[in-house]
């Protein structure tokens, strides 16, 4: 199973994402934003960081990168895509996910271990979890406040497209405690917290994050 990790100028967590994929049993493939070459990967992870220094809006310029055009086209055909933190911002800016990520309500950068509740355990990236499962992974963002029009939020909730919610405290003021959302087909997932930082006891608060990367292996095989 070949899973690409797309690096933009300013990506930070691409190496951690590669490591998490390797630990999950996948073959990680490094992808470069300026190429038009997805290297025959079966799925793509958009990593965290500060692509283009968050200039214009977080994720806005990366969303228009050459390789993102290929990612958008392939995602339309069902290729699984996981956007973490800045990757989530890129997916929203690219129109693959609804809503937008904005400056944290309290204006502080927030960096801590965060409890989440998995709301959807049947997406390409969450099938190794149970619905309602509590996991703890790091969150670290300055522009992580998920917003959308109330009517859009109602629609997303109605369609069951909230993948994970913050529990035991909302770190950034996200609407309805939303930490992650999915596309209508459950193949594209955006998540503000960082599962790739919670894959080993030595370095993470838990190994709860590994499930995102093992889930997709089954999803792609299915």
Partner 1 sequence: MARVVVDVVLKPEISDPQGQAVLGALGRLGHDSITSVRQGKHFVLEVDGDPDEAELKQIAETLLANPVIEDVELHLTAD
Structure-block tokens of residue 61:
């310029």
The helix or strand, by DSSP H or E, that contains position 114, with its residue range, turns out to be strand 110-118
21/92 with CB nearer partner 1? 92
Catalytic residues, which ones? 85, 194, 196
Quote the least distance from Cβ 93 to partner 1, whole Å: 7
117/145 with CB nearer partner 1? 145
Q: 143 and 104 in contact (C-beta within 8 Å)? A: yes
105/160 with CB nearer partner 1? 105
Phi and psi angles of residue 155, each rounded to the nearest 5 degrees, phi first: -65, -45
Quote the least distance from Cβ 42 to partner 1, whole Å: 30
Quote the least distance from Cβ 150 to partner 1, whole Å: 8
160/173 with CB nearer partner 1? 173
Q: Could you list the residues that contact partner 1 (CB under 8 A)? A: 56-57, 60, 64, 92-93, 98-100, 102-107, 147-150, 173
Quote the least distance from Cβ 3 to partner 1, whole Å: 28
Which are the contacts of 34, defined by CB distance < 8 A and separation ≥ 6?
Answer: 65, 66, 67
Cα separations (Å) of 58 from 93, 103, 115, 198, 215?
8, 9, 24, 24, 27
Spatial CA neighbour of 105 closest among 138, 137, 140, 144: 144
């Amino acid at each position: 199973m070949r899973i690409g990790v797309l690096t933009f100028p300013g990506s930070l967590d691409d190496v951690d994402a590669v490591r998490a994929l390797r630990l999950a049993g996948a073959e990680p493939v490094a992808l470069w934003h300026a190429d038009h070459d997805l290297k025959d990967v079966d799925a793509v992870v958009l990593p965290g960081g500060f692509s283009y220094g968050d200039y214009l809006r977080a994720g806005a310029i990366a969303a228009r990168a050459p390789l993102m055009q290929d990612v958008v086209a392939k995602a339309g055909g069902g290729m699984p895509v996981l956007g973490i933190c800045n990757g989530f911002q890129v997916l929203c800016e690219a129109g693959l996910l609804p809503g937008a990520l904005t400056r944290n309500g309290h204006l502080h950068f927030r960096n801590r271990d965060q409890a989440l509740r998995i709301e959807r355990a049947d997406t390409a990236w969450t099938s190794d979890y149970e619905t309602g499962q509590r996991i703890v992974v790091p969150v670290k963002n300055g522009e992580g406040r998920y917003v959308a029009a109330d009517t859009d939020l109602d629609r997303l909730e109605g369609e069951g497209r909230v993948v994970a919610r913050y529990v035991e405290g909302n770190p950034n003021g996200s609407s309805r405690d939303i930490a992650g959302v999915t596309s209508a087909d459950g193949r594209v997932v955006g998540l503000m917290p960082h599962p790739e930082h919670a894959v080993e006891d030595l370095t993470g608060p838990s190994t709860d994050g590994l499930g995102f990367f093992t889930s997709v292996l089954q999803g792609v095989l299915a």
